[in-house]
Amino acid sequence: MTTNVQVLLANRPTGWVQESDFNIVETPVPEPRPGELLVRNHWLSLDPYMRGRMSAGKSYAASTEIGDVMPGGTVGEVIASHHPRFKVGQFVVGSLGWQQYATSSGEGLVVIDPKAVPLQAYLGAVGMPGGTAWIGLYEHCKPIAGETVVVSAASGAVGGVVGQLAKMQGCRTVGIAGGPAKCAYVVDELGFDACVDYKAGRLYEDLKAAVPNGIDCYFENVGGETMDTVFRLLNAFSRVALCGLIADYNTTEAYGVKMIRSLLVNRVNLRGFIVFDRPDLYQRAIPQLAQLVASGRIRYRETIAEGLHAAPRAFIGLLKGENFGKQLVKLS
């Protein structure tokens, strides 16, 4: 065991994140105290919500302080334990942050089966993104067979699962993604009925053609102009699951959404939600998602950055949509 590598928050960004907003340091590997365990992280998840933690503004979770380790989901191996519930050699998923090694009291760590699905799937389709998709779709969108479900960021870690679950539910499933390669993947590999490339510059016309019966459920990951355009095609009594607004995360002034009137005249139910508010549903979702991934019924793609030194650049790429599928950092 050599030194630990950690990525700290160096500055609060305004607008786009810069690599200089992070500070990568080498520190001694910590010693677990009585009751603690030591984990060697194998995988770090990069997710859009982390942008919120970098800001001081109010969000659903506390901001990360300057100089603190960046927060993030991890999968790792227990390499020392003074904790009765964890044994050396076990694998755990949790939020141990952007670092190679971490001690923990065990709170929030869950032991996982490394043979059921690939380790890093616990950070994607069988983890927080998959659980988010499950809860947003089944609890908030509540689609029924024959309805039309639209999901933005459709090739992403959340959107891809949303569309595949909606398809199983018997829905017409339409993705919105950036560029022909992502759209081809969404249709050909994930099995969506259609995908609209918002970068083609004809989002309204193309989406309208893809939803001949209008939109009953919209799973929103991006916000901004995409949201405004989708709102124009909502059906009466449609549902909007508001999961993310990545278009707004890096601007100093948010986009102004004009089509609020569509929410009124169509009697839309729009709901902001956070996966962690419903641990009851999360516990239902994860075993189902694990089975679906293991049996190949849910597929996903990964973009893997090698090592923590590559993490800041990969995170910036994620915010710009440069990744393809789930963005991970491989730590071992």
- Contact residues toward its own copies (CB under 8 A) are 52, 58-60, 223, 227, 236, 242-245, 248, 253-261, 263-274, 277
Residues 6+ apart with CB under 8 A from 121: 127, 290, 293, 300
Minimum CB distance to its own copies, residue 250 (Å): 12
Minimum CB distance to its own copies, residue 139 (Å): 12
Choose between 66 and 259: whose C-beta lies nearer to its own copies: 259
- The helix (run of H) or strand (run of E) holding residue 23 is strand 22-28
Minimum CB distance to its own copies, residue 63 (Å): 12
Choose between 52 and 191: whose C-beta lies nearer to its own copies: 52
| Residue 22, φ and ψ in degrees, nearest 5 | -115, 155
3-state secondary structure of 137: helix
CA 26 to chain CA centroid, nearest Å: 28
Choose between 201 and 256: whose C-beta lies nearer to its own copies: 256
Are 1 and 29 within 8 A, CB to CB?
yes
User: CB-hemisphere CA count at 13 Å for 27?
Assistant: 15
Are 235 and 266 within 8 A, CB to CB?
yes
Choose between 107 and 253: whose C-beta lies nearer to its own copies: 253
Minimum CB distance to its own copies, residue 300 (Å): 24
- The helix (run of H) or strand (run of E) holding residue 326 is strand 326-330
Minimum CB distance to its own copies, residue 176 (Å): 17
Choose between 13 and 76: whose C-beta lies nearer to its own copies: 13
Measured distance CA(95)–CA(74) in Å, rounded: 6
Minimum CB distance to its own copies, residue 59 (Å): 5
Minimum CB distance to its own copies, residue 143 (Å): 18
Minimum CB distance to its own copies, residue 259 (Å): 7
Choose between 21 and 220: whose C-beta lies nearer to its own copies: 220
Are 269 and 235 within 8 A, CB to CB?
no
Count the residues in the chain: 332
Choose between 99 and 148: whose C-beta lies nearer to its own copies: 148
Tell me the torsion sign for CA atoms 43, 272, 319, 297: positive
Are 41 and 331 within 8 A, CB to CB?
yes
Choose between 116 and 274: whose C-beta lies nearer to its own copies: 274
CA angle 54/60/62 to nearest 5° reads 50
Measured distance CA(210)–CA(281) in Å, rounded: 31
Minimum CB distance to its own copies, residue 273 (Å): 5
**Cβ neighbourhood burial of 274 (10 Å; 0-12, 13-18, 19+):** middle
Helices (H), ranges, 116-234: 128-135, 157-168, 180-188, 203-210, 224-231
Choose between 77 and 139: whose C-beta lies nearer to its own copies: 139
Identity of the residue numbered 111: V
